[in-house]
Amino acid sequence: MRLWLRRLQPLLGLALLALVASMLDWRDRLVLRPPTPSGAKVERSGVIEGDWRGERAVFLPDAGPEAGPELDWPVRIELERLEDGSWSAPGWSIEGALELSPGMPRVISSVEPQGFLLATVCFLLALSCGITRWWRLLRRAGAVVRWTDTFRLTFLGLFFNLVVPGLTGGDVVKAILAVREHPKQKHDALVSVVVDRVFGMYALMVLAAIVLLIQRERFPGFGLPFLGVAVGLTLGAWLYAHPRLRAKLRIDALLARLPLGQQIEKLDRAALLYLSHPGEIAVALLLSLGNHFWTITGVVALARAFGVGADSIPAVEFAAIVPLTNMASSIPTGPAGLGIGEAAYASLFRLLGVSAALGVAVSLGFRICQLSLSLVGGLFLLKPERRAELQQAEQDLSQVQA
């Protein structure tokens, strides 16, 4: 990769974050929604006193004419939560439903720390499912390794994102390290990383398609594209591995005539190895679903810690939100999808009628949990030989990106 592109990417991520920040509310707001759909909502910035997630709160409106002359805003508004999650102001004669919309500082300052701990545990369980999936794929390819070895390589890949952020991410480092540790099965080791990622993304798309179709009223227009991609991948894999079709199209002869044909043929055989074992595919997909289940559970824990109640976004809807935001974050616009992931969370939360500030807070909380887990990879670097391993991976990666 060109040096200028590597330097530009973090700046692009920061620019996206700045754009997202400019779209957020940095002051608390009280929103008055009219009793009829045709009416226009009225809102006022101010300060929330008390726990905005509790049963009672106080809102102190800012001074100013922003609400319009037709509404007389009290200096102090005492609020009580109703059963539907909205608020009422017993001492204020108005028509319509009241909603509290906390600003970004309020969201961050009122987070519940135990939610972060629970989310981190969930993300660790998700990683364990992914590590087990890759370990099984390596062993199926003939690279007999210990589970702890795949654990170490995975966390070194995560830690690499901290050392050299870029478009490639930790998967390239995993591939380089796996190939270096298994030179006799280097093509199998390389394909195992690619197949591992494909299984994860495939399960993510299938899960997203199912939930988005079930929740199509809340997520209009999202489900069918995901279903189409999932069906297309399934059909493509079946056609790729079909012996008669390969013979009719003379795929093996075609690969042999390509540049680097011998290496491509070895990669092709390694890929066919996995497709010829449906039982292993089933186990890999189950582990992928386990990975996504624990990831979604962790994001739900973060959302609840920041104050997103089940009445606002039920847990099942995060089975659509998380795949959508993960897909968006995979677009290489910034390190680890920095900026675009926050924009995706903000947009989806706003679509569901929840403050965009809460969406951005959940996204940043997710990054903090992932960051804390990736630091585990640094523990492996306490040994000199492991530091040399990482330095060699950096050199190999620089050659790949050149």
Question: Distance of alpha carbon 88 from its chain centroid, rounded?
Answer: 36
Provide the percentage of residues in the chain whose pLDDT is more than 70.
Answer: 70
**12 located within any domain:** no
pLDDT for 1:
45
pLDDT for 67:
46
- The answer, yes or no, to whether residue 387 has pLDDT greater than 60, is no
- The answer, yes or no, to whether residue 394 has pLDDT greater than 60, is no
Of residues 166 and 91, more confidence is placed in 91
Kindly state whether residues 158 and 37 are assigned to the same domain: no
Bridge partner residues of 87 (DSSP): 81, 98
Which residue matches tokens 């606002």?
312
Kindly state whether residues 62 and 148 are assigned to the same domain: no
- The answer, yes or no, to whether residue 339 has pLDDT greater than 90, is no
DSSP state of 330: T
Average pLDDT, the chain: 77
Q: What is the tally of structural domains in the chain?
A: 2
* Domain's final residue, options 59, 81, 102: 102
pLDDT for 312:
84
CA 117 – CA 317 distance, rounded (Å): 22
* Domain's final residue, options 44, 79, 102: 102
**10 located within any domain:** no
**20 located within any domain:** no
Provide the percentage of residues in the chain whose pLDDT is more than 90.
Answer: 10
Query: Roughly how many angstroms between the first and final C-alpha of the chain, as a whole number?
Result: 5
Of residues 124 and 179, more confidence is placed in 124
Kindly state whether residues 280 and 331 are assigned to the same domain: yes
Kindly state whether residues 382 and 263 are assigned to the same domain: yes
Across the range 52-57, mean pLDDT stands at 83
Kindly state whether residues 144 and 236 are assigned to the same domain: yes
pLDDT for 136:
87
| Selection from 240, 245, 244 nearest residue 267 by Cα | 240
Structure tokens at 398: 């620089």
Kindly state whether residues 244 and 300 are assigned to the same domain: yes
* Domain's final residue, options 75, 102, 129: 102
205 and 160 in contact (C-beta within 8 Å)? no
Across the range 337-365, mean pLDDT stands at 84
pLDDT for 292:
92
Report the alpha-carbon angle 171-395-174, nearest 5. 20
160 and 173 in contact (C-beta within 8 Å)? yes
Kindly state whether residues 142 and 36 are assigned to the same domain: no
237-276 pLDDT tens trace:
777 777 777 777 777 677 666 665 566 666 677 677 777 7
Alpha-carbon torsion, ordered 117, 118, 120, 123, to 10 deg: 180
Kindly state whether residues 249 and 329 are assigned to the same domain: yes
Which residue matches tokens 């701990």?
117
Kindly state whether residues 362 and 245 are assigned to the same domain: yes
CA 297 – CA 288 distance, rounded (Å): 14
CA 298 – CA 119 distance, rounded (Å): 4
**For the chain, how big is the Rg over CA atoms in Å?**
25
Structure tokens at 349: 């939360």
pLDDT for 248:
76
69-87 pLDDT tens trace:
456 778 888 888 887 777 8
| Selection from 89, 92, 86 nearest residue 72 by Cα | 92
Kindly state whether residues 97 and 67 are assigned to the same domain: yes
Specify the range with the lowest mean pLDDT, choosing from 43-47, 311-315, 327-331.
Answer: 327-331
DSSP string for 165-202: -SSS-HHHHHHHHHHHH-GGGHHHHHHHHHHHHHHHHH
**364 located within any domain:** yes
Which residue matches tokens 């670097």?
381
For the chain, what's the residue count?
Answer: 402
**69 located within any domain:** yes
Please give the helix or strand (H or E) that residue 81 lies within, else none.
strand 77-81
CA 139 – CA 134 distance, rounded (Å): 9
CA 325 – CA 347 distance, rounded (Å): 10
377 and 156 in contact (C-beta within 8 Å)? yes
- The answer, yes or no, to whether residue 353 has pLDDT greater than 60, is yes
Q: Please, how many CA atoms are within 13 Å of residue 107, restricted to the half-sphere of its CB?
A: 29
**58 located within any domain:** yes
Specify the range with the lowest mean pLDDT, choosing from 110-114, 189-193, 203-207.
Answer: 189-193
Kindly state whether residues 74 and 125 are assigned to the same domain: no
Please give the helix or strand (H or E) that residue 389 lies within, else none.
helix 384-401
**293 located within any domain:** yes
Across the range 221-242, mean pLDDT stands at 79
**108 located within any domain:** no
324 and 344 in contact (C-beta within 8 Å)? yes
State the pTM of this model. 0.76
- The answer, yes or no, to whether residue 6 has pLDDT greater than 60, is no
| Helix extents (H) in 215-260 | 223-241, 243-249, 251-257
| Selection from 15, 329, 336, 308 nearest residue 170 by Cα | 336
The domain in which residue 137 lies consists of: 113-401
Kindly state whether residues 209 and 125 are assigned to the same domain: yes
110-149 pLDDT tens trace:
888 899 999 999 999 999 999 999 888 888 777 777 888 8
| Selection from 39, 142, 34 nearest residue 95 by Cα | 34
pLDDT for 258:
62
**CA-to-CA dists, residue 18 to 109, 221, 342, 358, angstroms:** 20, 28, 11, 16
187 and 169 in contact (C-beta within 8 Å)? no
Across the range 22-28, mean pLDDT stands at 77
